[in-house]
Amino acid sequence: MTDVSSDYAELLALDPEARKLLFTEARTANSFTDEPVTEEQLRAIYELTKWAPTSANTQTLRVLFVSKGEARERLVAHMADGNKAKTEAAPVVAVLAADQRFYEHIPTVFPIKPEMAQYFESNEQASTDHARYNAILQSGYFILGVRAAGLAAGPMLGFDGDGIDKEFFGDGRWKTIQVINIGHPGENAWFDRLPRLSYDQVVAHV
C-alpha cells in the first residue's frame, strides 16, 4: 500500500489510516454507486472545511450542490464531453464558485479592519483576484473534507465556466472555479496511480 516513507511517517501527527483516507490512498473518482449522499453529510463537509485559511478570513468560496434531475441536466450541458457521463451519474455535484462581493461580509468575518470592505468594493481587479485566489485555496480543503466524510471526490476543470455562471448565477455575483462530483466510488472508479515528484525535484532552500 502507498504511504509516507517510514523515515518520515513518525514525524506526522496523522495516524496511518487518516493519511490513507485523506492523502496516500485517496483518488479522483470517475464512477459512483447509486448510494445517496445525504444533506447531513454535505453539512458535515462544510462544517469541517469552513476552518480553512483565507486571507483576512474573507472566506470567498461559495458552493452550489446540484442534485439529479432537471438542474443536473442543465449543468451537464456545460461540461466537457469527457466529463458529461460521470457528472450525470454522480449522486451529488458541487459547483464551487468565488463570491465577487465577498467584501460585504468583512465587517463580520474580519471586524478588526472593517474598512477593507470599502477598499475591495472600489477596486474591482483586486476584489476579483482576491475572491478567486482564496476560493481556490478553500477548494483544496473542500476536497479533503469530502474524503474525511468517507466519500470520493471527482474534481474537474473541463467545463464552460461562463455557461455555468449564466445558467445558475445570473446576477454575476458567483463565478465558477471548479466542479466536483461526490459520492461512493463505483466500478472501475480509479485510473492507475501516477508518479509523484520527489522532494528534491520540487523543493529548494536559500
Contact 145, 51 (CB under 8 A): no
Angle value at C-alpha 163, between 160 and 166, nearest 5 degrees: 150
The series of mean pLDDT values per 10 residues for the chain, 206 residues long, is 77 94 94 96 98 98 97 98 96 98 98 98 98 98 98 97 98 97 95 93 98
Q: Looking at the domain assignment, is residue 37 inside a domain?
A: yes
Q: Looking at the domain assignment, is residue 204 inside a domain?
A: no
pLDDT of residue 2: 64
pLDDT of residue 104: 98
How buried is residue 25: exposed, middle or buried, by Cβ count under 10 Å (0-12/13-18/19+)?
Answer: middle
Q: Under 8 Å CB-to-CB from 101, ≥6 apart: which residues?
A: 173
How many C-beta atoms lie closer than 10 Å to residue 47's C-beta?
10
For residue 198, how far is the Cα from the chain centroid?
25
Q: Looking at the domain assignment, is residue 6 inside a domain?
A: no
Q: Looking at the domain assignment, is residue 10 inside a domain?
A: no
Domain count of the chain? Answer: 1
Q: Looking at the domain assignment, is residue 12 inside a domain?
A: no
Domain that holds residue 122: 28-185
Contact 138, 48 (CB under 8 A): no
**Spatial separation of the C-alpha atoms in residues 119 and 122, rounded to whole Å:** 5
pLDDT of residue 71: 98
Predicted TM-score (pTM) of this structure: 0.94
pLDDT of residue 4: 77
Q: Looking at the domain assignment, is residue 105 inside a domain?
A: yes
For residue 73, how far is the Cα from the chain centroid?
21
**Spatial separation of the C-alpha atoms in residues 178 and 143, rounded to whole Å:** 11
Q: Looking at the domain assignment, is residue 13 inside a domain?
A: no
* CATH code assigned at 38: 3.40.109.10
How many C-beta atoms lie closer than 10 Å to residue 64's C-beta?
17
Strand arrangement, sheet containing 61-66: 61-66, 92-99, 174-183, 152-156
Contact 60, 131 (CB under 8 A): yes
Which amino acid would we find at residue 171?
D
Give percent helix, percent strand, percent coil of the chain, each to the nearest 5: 45, 15, 35
Q: Looking at the domain assignment, is residue 4 inside a domain?
A: no
